[in-house]
Chain A
């Protein structure tokens, strides 16, 4: 897809992730034992041969920039095209309700203008899937579409995320008849926040935006133009996680403990790339008991772990019992700790003997680098 450039927009609603986005933007949220959310859209693009990719970042970008580097882990450290970091135009991100903020792209007009590609593929940074974007390109051309939106039929949001979704109505040929943010359509046709269109069309939106100050691709442009523009929906049937909140972050990561999901998402034909870290293999010691666990390199496990995602360099002490939890990099769990339904952010340490059990469906979040002692939470 040499004629397509990629644009990854920035998910504005960081509040929905509570303390998890205190030190990082949504794109940089750790996911799936060794990845960050941005790895999925980036890898999908790279796997389809897209080699010019711009990423909008919020001001909370240190962690994302560290992760992306020069893009070498995605093969994007190139002389021609490559990876471009595009700062957001939105100073007050917290009160910006735009779904896809075109003003962010407009603020980086130079980059768009100098890019040679005819088409742009816009996608959110929080869409976890493994999708062959070449098929989307072929579909777009076949339908002579102005805009193609990738969707999934019957995708189920968590109740609290329903209002964050964008829903489509389509006819039998796949033409989109209505686009609605926040209100489920019959059949629950959910937009995957991926849009393929000509760069020239995007540029024409900028001209309007400049005049009337309206910048949301969904509510200010596409919703009102379903009749004027040929907007088509491309159905995606593989594994999908739209990570919209800390609750869905928890739910979707634990879905990866189903080996069928892992096989689909980490399809070796279309690898999900991430920043490669060089750590030793994970060590399971004599007393370790592990069951249904997805784990990364460099962990040292002496206790019992069940239904957990472990990022790299996690340490679990003797006698500890950890269930249904997500342990981000460098989490250290002392002896005889008991945890159930907890998200432990990077670098958290839990003092020996501590017990943390969530009393309801929602997990407990322990923010980055916190040292937990009994009674401190």
Chain B
């Protein structure tokens, strides 16, 4: 088989527990985002737009939705490469001497050394499946080659006051990384790692094998592999990315990134034909806005029917909003049915949930409502309360419990 210059390995196996109810039934990269996408669409589209035609997607936590969504990758044109690339889903698997789950990000790649070797690439691009950004990886690769680097780590400037929340790269004047600090209390720089790495495959392979043998290691790129490489004084460079980038690992950051889309912040627009974000949409009829509806500052997808008021919100496909209801600063996942006289503020409503007439969801903070539940009429959900699936009897009591 022809060798590939660069292939991508996309880490999509994490549970994303900080997204709480949003990842109850699916892996973080499969969480819907932006009115019709899933989070993984950004990384996959970036790959295809950057000319990377071979991607391994490493899955582990609740992968069913993600697997069927990616399919043969035709939504991103990955199916065009036949057996010479395209997208391959890589779950943990059993070998002659037994099998193991992926114990960490580095271990996940280690377990798939054979997959990478099959393409005999010069470089391997490591990506996370939970970031919202548009990035041309080919520019980063060019810089990697220009620097004659062994490792290049993409960084973004973050506000100084937030720097202690990130993995911070300290560099010299040439951009060579001299120190890496995970969530430093007193950051020396504001260049945060984006979790996007390019490695020379030969170098990475060696470190992965060494790391796998180390019983003390957590088998994590940020915690183990990168520090070890720094210790060994490898040629490691920071690549400064300019543009919009968000880690949507928490409910708060997920909600904020969604609102950024509405507010056109950071130029991350979907209405840009030069760097399209592709997705695998399912067929829906056009959406219908009735004569009683009012819509302002919102994204509305196919299959919705709206009779109420929608303000500064994102509605995924197939959402119904009844008369005299108000949806404000909220994210409504696919297939949600909202009755009449409902008020929803600053909330994320899970897929296929039914909100009974006269209900109120909101207060300050972000309220998350689980997938596929039926909320009876006049349910009140305030902050801090996370409505769980109830039995029938319990459902009757929900109103009392919450009110």
Q: Indicate whether A and B interact.
A: yes
Interface residues, chain A, with chain B CB atoms under 8 Å away: 32-34, 73, 259, 262, 266, 271-274, 276, 278, 280-286, 288-298, 300, 309-310
Q: Report if B302 contacts A (CB, 8 A).
A: yes
Tell me, in angstroms, the Cα distance from A283 to B297 when the chains sit together.
Answer: 7
Q: Report if B193 contacts A (CB, 8 A).
A: no
Would you call A281 and B296 a contact (CB within 8 A)? no
Question: Given the known A-B contacts A271-B283, A293-B288, are A281 and B35 also in contact in the complex, defined by CB atoms under 8 Å?
Answer: yes
Residues of chain A lying within 8 A (CB to CB) of residue B289: 290-295
- Which listed residue (B290, B297, B300, B314) contacts A292, Cβ 8 A? B290
Would you call A281 and B285 a contact (CB within 8 A)? no
Would you call B35 and A288 a contact (CB within 8 A)? no
Interface string of B302-337 (1 = CB under 8 A from A): 100100000000110000000000000000000000
Residues of chain A lying within 8 A (CB to CB) of residue B290: 259, 291-292
Residues of chain B lying within 8 A (CB to CB) of residue A283: 271, 298-299
Chain B nearest Cβ from A65, distance in angstroms: 20
Question: Given the known A-B contacts A283-B299, A284-B298, are A262 and B285 also in contact in the complex, defined by CB atoms under 8 Å?
Answer: yes
Tell me, in angstroms, the Cα distance from A32 to B314 when the chains sit together.
Answer: 24
Question: Given the known A-B contacts A280-B271, A295-B287, are A286 and B296 also in contact in the complex, defined by CB atoms under 8 Å?
Answer: yes
Residues of chain B lying within 8 A (CB to CB) of residue A259: 288, 290, 305
Chain B nearest Cβ from A40, distance in angstroms: 13
Would you call A294 and B299 a contact (CB within 8 A)? no
Would you call B314 and A281 a contact (CB within 8 A)? yes
Q: Report if B291 contacts A (CB, 8 A).
A: yes
- Which listed residue (B75, B270, B286, B291) contacts A33, Cβ 8 A? B286
Residue contacts A-B, CB under 8 angstroms, 18 given: A34-B302, A259-B290, A274-B283, A280-B35, A280-B299, A281-B270, A281-B301, A281-B302, A282-B287, A282-B301, A283-B299, A284-B296, A285-B296, A285-B297, A288-B295, A289-B294, A292-B291, A295-B286
Chain B nearest Cβ from A297, distance in angstroms: 5
Q: Report if B28 contacts A (CB, 8 A).
A: no
Would you call A297 and B271 a contact (CB within 8 A)? no
| Residue from B75, B286, B300 whose CB has the most chain A CB atoms within 10 Å | B286
Q: For residue B276, which residue of chain A has the nearest CB?
A: A278
Question: Given the known A-B contacts A290-B289, A294-B286, are A281 and B281 also in contact in the complex, defined by CB atoms under 8 Å?
Answer: no
- Which listed residue (A273, A282, A286, A290) contacts B283, Cβ 8 A? A273
Tell me, in angstroms, the Cα distance from A73 to B282 when the chains sit together.
Answer: 10
Would you call B314 and A34 a contact (CB within 8 A)? no
Interface residues, chain B, with chain A CB atoms under 8 Å away: 34-36, 75, 270-271, 277-283, 285-291, 293-302, 305, 314-315
Chain B nearest Cβ from A332, distance in angstroms: 12
Question: Given the known A-B contacts A33-B286, A294-B288, are A284 and B279 also in contact in the complex, defined by CB atoms under 8 Å?
Answer: no
Q: For residue A263, which residue of chain B has the nearest CB?
A: B305
Residues of chain B lying within 8 A (CB to CB) of residue A296: 286-287, 302
Q: For residue B298, which residue of chain A has the nearest CB?
A: A284
Chain B nearest Cβ from A186, distance in angstroms: 37
Residues of chain B lying within 8 A (CB to CB) of residue A297: 36, 301-302
Q: For residue B302, which residue of chain A has the nearest CB?
A: A297
Residues of chain A lying within 8 A (CB to CB) of residue B315: 281
- Which listed residue (A272, A276, A284, A292) contacts B281, Cβ 8 A? A276
Residues of chain B lying within 8 A (CB to CB) of residue A288: 295-296
Chain B nearest Cβ from A288, distance in angstroms: 6
Residues of chain A lying within 8 A (CB to CB) of residue B294: 289
Residues of chain A lying within 8 A (CB to CB) of residue B280: 278
Tell me, in angstroms, the Cα distance from A281 to B270 when the chains sit together.
Answer: 9
Residues of chain B lying within 8 A (CB to CB) of residue A273: 283
- Which listed residue (B35, B271, B314) contacts A300, Cβ 8 A? B271
5 more contacts with CB within 8 A, not counting A294-B289, A300-B271, are: A259-B290, A266-B285, A272-B285, A281-B301, A295-B289
| Residue from B35, B283, B302, B315 whose CB has the most chain A CB atoms within 10 Å | B302
Question: Given the known A-B contacts A262-B288, A292-B291, A295-B286, are A281 and B297 also in contact in the complex, defined by CB atoms under 8 Å?
Answer: no
Chain B nearest Cβ from A116, distance in angstroms: 29
Tell me, in angstroms, the Cα distance from A33 to B305 when the chains sit together.
Answer: 14
Would you call B270 and A280 a contact (CB within 8 A)? yes
Tell me, in angstroms, the Cα distance from A33 to B286 when the chains sit together.
Answer: 6
Chain A nearest Cβ from B310, distance in angstroms: 8
Residues of chain A lying within 8 A (CB to CB) of residue B75: 278
Chain A nearest Cβ from B395, distance in angstroms: 26
Residues of chain B lying within 8 A (CB to CB) of residue A291: 289-291, 293
Chain A nearest Cβ from B392, distance in angstroms: 26
Tell me, in angstroms, the Cα distance from A310 to B34 when the chains sit together.
Answer: 21
